[in-house]
Structure formats: C-alpha cells, structure tokens
Chains A and B, each alone.
Chain A
Amino acid sequence: MNQRSDVLTLEAVGKSFGTTTVLRDISLSVASNEFLTILGPSGSGKTTILRLIAGFEAPTTGRIMLDGADISQMPINRRPFNTVFQDYALFPHLSVRRNVGYGLMVRGVPKAEIGPRVEAVLAIVGLQDYALRLPRELSGGQRQRVALARAIICEPRVILLDEPLAALDVALRAQMCKFLKDIQRRLDIAFVFITHDQQEAIAMSDRIVVMRDGRIEQIGGPEELYGFPASRFVAGFFGENNLIDGVVRAIDGARCEVETPIGPLWGVTCGPAAAVGAEVHLSIRPEALVPGATEGHRFLVRDAQFAGPTTLIEAQGVEAPEVTLRLRLPSGGTRALPSVGDVVAIGWSEADARVIAAEGSNG
C-alpha cells in the first residue's frame, strides 16, 4: 500500500430529526481509493450517514471534510460524489443512454462528447447492447448496472452505494459483489458501500465501519473485525462465535485471566482494557476449537450437523453444563469426527481466545 490520502473525513458528526437523535459522534475517514463498508443492522443509521455525505441532509453537529475543506454547507449538485440509490432511482422516461448521459448533459457537456463517453461507460458495465431500452425493460441486475454507470460517468471522487445488492437474488448478489469490487479497483476511486450483510462486507471491503444504534461500534479491516472484535455486538455480527461468560481475575499486559464455569482461562484483550473484577466474555471462533486435545475441558457431544466441507458440532460441558461450545471441523479430515454421545476433551490455543467486555460494563 502506498501513502494513505484521505479524500473524505467525517468529524464528530451528529444528526437529529427533531428530538430523535439518529447519529452520534460519527468520526471516520475514507482513503482516495478505498472500499469502505458501513455495516449495521436495519435502523442503525447507515443511510443517514450516506445522505449526510451526499448532501441530502445537513449534519446537526460536526463537520464533513473533502480534501481537508469543510463541505457541510456545499449544495448537493456541487459535491463530487455520486450515489447509487437503494431503489436505483433511474429516470423512468429516459432510455439507458439518456439516463447514463444525464450527469454530463446537465453540466453542459457538448452532445458530441456525451455519446462516446456513454458508450465507454456502458461497455465497462457490460450494457452496450441495452442503450436504447427503458429502465422498465431491464432486469434488476441490469438496472443496478445502469445506476452504477450513471454515477461513474460523472467521475466522482467517491461513489456512495446504499444497499445496492439487497434487492437482488442470492446468485446475482455474489456475482455483483465481485463485479463492484472489480470496478472499484479498475477506477481506483473510493466506494462507500452500505450493507447489513456481514458476508458482503467481508468479501469486498478494505475497511468496515460497524454501526449500532447511531454510533460507530468498531472500525477495522475484515480480518481485524473477525479476529479481534471489540465488543460482544461485533463478535456476534461476524460469523458464528462461542462466548463464555466470566470475571477478570488477573491482568498481564494485553492478556488476562478469566474465571469461568469451566475454570480459569487466559485470553487476549480486545477493545478497551479490562479491569480486575469486570464482567467479560471469552470469545473463541468455532474453527479454533480442537477436539481430542490431550489437555482440555471435557465436553459431551450433543449434535453434529454435516454442512458439506465442514461439520458443525455442538458440545455441552460435562462439569459445567451451562457452557455450550460449537466447533466447526473439516468434514473430510484425517481424524474421525466425534459422534453424538461421545465425551471429548476440547482445547484451543490461548492466542485464539479473546476477552471482550460484557454488555453494559463499558458504557
């Protein structure tokens, strides 16, 4: 990676509609060629962030900066950003060609120049043969591409995409994921992408902003969020997870010892530092658990679900029945899989155990 240069920065941005506060203290920056994803459940404020950046809404507090200059008051049509709307918002009475050329036409670009540029952009999104169609004569995936073409022809600094894949069926979604990522690399501009789907986020993003109730819960790369979730919310949002409740007993640098129903366990602290006596969760990914380890905790296998390349095993503590662990093991591994009713010793590497503050104990 070369030197990071931020094109867009949000500084402590807050947004209220009347008395309801929708966003609080949103600070983030977007590098000039970054694929940044805003991830969060429905109602967490993702669309509102996008609308603030695009200029459809003005922030109640804080500033929005473009190349270091405050643009909070800049009108929508002067901002070098373009949006791909959730419902595509194609102009129903204009052909694909006129939809895509619209941004150039209203800027007064000569007709002779618009034609070739529209052709070029339609070629990028693979819609050369659809130039004369009306939006209603296109499939969902094609409309999506028109919406994207209409945005990229304006050569914006940032493209804003609001859940563009939500309306597509599963097979098409995977294809469009790859397509969007390819285009972003090819154009080498910043994409701010909204989704509530963590798989989409992991597959495409350079960095992910996890939103919850109008706040940023965590910002980081996909591996970072998966491996070092700073909160129980993030830990639960990215894939399956095992959470064992406990209380901090001792702290040793970035490690701490947690008293749990299955005994004292060491783990690596994520997020804000824990204090002795604090309630925490110990989080271990299902694929990090190893059965049949020589030293480990004894668990009774309750259930085994075959899922193609992997098998999901559910096991209950023998000494501590309140603890249930889920293991994901390779189905065709060299070692035989434990079967239901077996008692196995389950172990893991200490580096795979993360200590996460319990809900409510960190404000």
Chain B
Amino acid sequence: MKRHSGLFDVALGALALVSLGIIYAPLAVVWVFSNWQPVRVRGALQLAPFSWDSYVALTRNADILGALGTTLLVGLVSMLLALILATTFAMYYWRTVGVSRQIMQALVFLPFLLPPIVVGLSLLIAFRELDATRGAFTIVVGHTVLLVPVVYRLVLTRLNSLSPSLTEASLDLGASHCQTFYHILLPQLGSALLAGALLGFAISFDETMVTLFLSGSTSTLPIRLWSMMRLGFVPEINALATLVVLAAALATAVFGVMQLPGKRGAR
C-alpha cells in the first residue's frame, strides 16, 4: 500500500503533464492547421472552417509525393542492407576472438562517431572519383553506413545475452552452422532485428546532413522541406506532418504490443 505520497505524487504528475504538453503542443498545432487552415484576416490569425483541403492538395503535389517516395524507398532499402550487414558483423564479433574482431568493430562504429559532415563529404568525394551519378543509390549507401553501427549494437547485445550452449546444443544434435543460424539464432535475434529495423528506418527517414551531399538532383523529404523553408510552406505540409506523426505512433504501438510479455512462440 502506498502511504504519505499524496502531495509528492501530485507534483510529479503535474510536472510530467506540463512537460508532455510542451513537447506535444507543436504537434497538436500542426494537426489543427491541417484541418482548420490558418488564414490572416487584416493581420490577425484566424482558422478557416474544417476541411480536408490540405490533404487533398497533398495527394496532388507531385513534388512532395516524389520526395516522400524516395525517402520511403531509401529508408526501406538501407534498413534491409543495414540489417544484413550488421548481423554479419555482429556474428563475426560474437564467434571469434582476437584483434581482428576489435579492429572490425572500431571500423563499424567509426562512421557513427564521426561528424556527419565528414562522412557526407568523404562519400561525396569517393563517388565523384568513381563517377557514380548521385541519386537514390548514393543516398542508400550513405544511410546504410550510418545505420549499420546502430543495428550492430542491438544485435550484438542480444547475441551476448544468449547462452553459448544454445549453439553448441544445436551443433551437437547434428545441425550445420547454417541450420543453427536459421533455426536457433535468427529466432532469438527477432526482437533485436525488429528494433533495429524501426530505429534504422526512423534515422534514415529524417537524415539530412549526409543526404545533402549525396542527393544530387534527387530529393528526399527532409531535403525538400529544407529547401521549402526559403520559399515558405504550403498548407499540405501540415497534412504531411500529421500523417507522419500518425504513422510513427502506429509503428511504436505495434512494436510495443510485440514486446509485451506472454507472447507465445512458434509451436
């Protein structure tokens, strides 16, 4: 039973409420503006009546939709590449001993620790030397470089928490190394890979600095928005932002449900 905690808990609750209010207020404003478009009447701010106009406008804005498409594609591809590469690196670190794995780990982490401007610039120079046309492909390469260390860390932490006798038992029962990876390790890595996928996609989604160097004439959403700042925003941006927040909230909720204890595994 709780005792003597009334006033203190009320204070804590109030503080939390105010902080969350400050964090979420701008999001609420964006959502309100997406349905009730702000208009200036003789210099004073007023809201137009409720409408889906900005959403309709969004569906017709090929510029923004194109940038969104590139962003989604780049996020998906670089996330998948990062999952594969990071799992490979983490497995190598986990299974071996010695200096080579330490060197590999340092190299994997380095792009994450370097300032993005250095990573972006060096990739730009490299691509120019290679005569690679800048576009979605070069952005994917840049993003993958940034995502690998994040996913690597998640996968390695999970691997280290596994009992070594799990793999040994599988080999002992006659499985090959590939079978052991597929039937035993991969299912154990599931939640780490899911977390890595979500986090990786989120990072790729709003990555700007490195993307600026690598995008060429292709635009991702952050780049598009950034360039819009000079010209002023169109109303459909409010609709877009609201949808992005909704999607993020949905993904977080799905992830949270999947992490709930008591979930039954495959039978």
* Chain A residues numbered 53-97 whose CB sits less than 8 Å from any CB in chain B: 54, 56, 76-78, 81-83, 85-87, 89-95, 97
Which interface class (under 10, 10 to 19, 20 to 34, 35 or more) fits B? 20 to 34
Residue among A56, A81, A151 having the largest count of chain B Cβ atoms under 10 Å: A56
Which of chain A's residues has its CB closest to B165's CB?
A89
**Contact partner, A94, options B171, B174, B176, B266, Cβ 8 Å:** B266
B249, CB-defined interface residue at 8 Å: no
Are B174 and A93 neighbours in the complex by a CB distance under 8 Å? no
Task: Tell whether, in the assembled complex, residue B171 and residue A93 are in contact, meaning their CB atoms are under 8 Å apart.
Answer: no
Does A134 belong to the interface (CB within 8 Å)? yes
Provide the bound-state CA to CA distance between A102 and B168, in Å.
13
B188–A83 CB distance below 8 A: no
The reply to whether B265 and A94 contact each other, CB–CB distance below 8 Å, is yes
Binds A, one of B37-45, B135-143, B179-187: B179-187
Query: Do A89 and B176 contact each other (CB < 8 Å), given the known contacts A98-B267, A102-B183, A106-B183?
Result: no
B10 within 8 A of A: no
Chain B contacts for A54, CB-based, 8 A: 168, 172
Q: Report which of B163, B173, B187 forms a contact with A93, defined as CB distance below 8 A.
A: B187
Given A98-B267, A106-B173, A106-B179, residue A85 in contact with residue B184 (CB < 8 A): no
Closest to A85 in B: B165
Q: Tell me, rounded to whole Å, the shortest Cβ–Cβ distance linking B163 to chain A.
A: 6
Cβ-defined partner of A77 (8 Å) among B166, B176, B183? B176
A132 within 8 A of B: yes
> Which residues of the partner chain A approach B105 to less than 8 Å between Cβ atoms?
none
Q: Does B175 contact A (CB under 8 A)?
A: yes
- Decide yes or no whether B170 CB sits under 8 A from chain A: yes
Contacts A77-B171, A85-B168, A93-B266 supplied; 13 other A-B pairs, CB < 8 Å: A81-B172, A82-B173, A83-B172, A89-B166, A89-B169, A92-B265, A93-B188, A95-B265, A103-B174, A132-B267, A150-B169, A154-B173, A154-B174
Task: Please list the 3 inter-chain residue pairs (A to B) with the smallest Cβ-Cβ separation, ordered nearest first.
Answer: A89-B165, A103-B173, A89-B169
Which residues of B does A touch, CB under 8 Å? 163, 165-166, 168-176, 179, 183-184, 187-188, 264-267
